[in-house]
Amino acid sequence: MTDPQNPNGPQDPNETIIDAEVVDEQTTDDSAGVSDDSDFDPSMFNPEMFAQVQQMMENAEKAETLERENAELKNRLGRLAADFEAYRRRTADDASEARGKGTADAAEALMPVYDDLSRAIEMGSSDPGKLIPGMKTVQATVLRVFGQLGLEATGQEGEHFDPQWHEALQVVPGEQDDVVVQVYQVGFRMGDRLVRPARVVVSKKG
């Protein structure tokens, strides 16, 4: 019968006993499914297989590390390549600008030569006697411009022959050895750098 004070309670005291027995049977069944450590058989353990598995895991970790380092190196190499390309372009632009500026400066320095040459031709046309002085003026202007550019003329009569700056085209008898007695073509130097050797005739005591 249903207890009026507890409508959800059991109707029969025997029912409670049956439920308890069912719970005990389920607990027994669950306990039977749990493995006991005492069931482990040491003879089933294979050290070689365990070592192989461990080695495989270590190799996998090393492979991941190598892949990560490889990706970092590729990224760094890409950045270096981009930086080098930017540097190459900047250097090329600077060199081109420097060449352009050098050409403009040289042309500007030679403009007085053109002016003097024009005046020499104009004066020589009206009076041929003025042509030689006008050409000497042009020559002096050219040498002055070369001096401004850092060039120094070499090869003058009476100089001691120096193979570093002079090129002997002919050797003639003379009172002294290795003396420039005639200049076919003036040479030029820039500091210790030879730009063009002076082509000269050298004397030799005979």
| Contact between residue 98 and residue 106 where contact means Cβ atoms under 8 Å apart | no
Integer Cα distance of 130 and 114 in angstroms: 17
Domain CATH number, residue 177: 2.30.22.10
* 79 has a pLDDT exceeding 70: yes
pLDDT in tens, 89-105: 889 888 888 888 877 87
DSSP 3-state assignment of 134? helix
| Contact between residue 116 and residue 98 where contact means Cβ atoms under 8 Å apart | no
pLDDT band at residue 179, thresholds of 50, 70 and 90?
very high
55 compared with 144, residue with greater pLDDT:
144
pLDDT score of 133: 86
Is residue 103 situated within a structural domain?
Answer: yes
pLDDT in tens, 180-195: 999 999 999 988 999 9
Q: Which two tokens stand for residue 37?
A: 């450590």
pLDDT in tens, 41-51: 666 666 777 77
* 84 has a pLDDT exceeding 80: yes
* 164 has a pLDDT exceeding 90: yes
* 36 has a pLDDT exceeding 70: no
pLDDT score of 32: 46
Percent with pLDDT over 90 in the chain: 19
| Contact between residue 152 and residue 188 where contact means Cβ atoms under 8 Å apart | yes
* 132 has a pLDDT exceeding 60: yes
* 2 has a pLDDT exceeding 50: no
Entry pTM? 0.49
Range of the structural domain that residue 205 is part of: 151-206
Q: How many domains does the chain have?
A: 2
CA-based Rg of the chain, rounded to a whole angstrom? Answer: 53
pLDDT score of 108: 80
Report H helices in the chain: 13-32, 47-126, 131-148
Is residue 15 situated within a structural domain?
Answer: no
Instruction: Among 149, 169, 194, identify where a domain stops.
Output: 149
The verdict on 63 and 141 lying in the same domain is yes
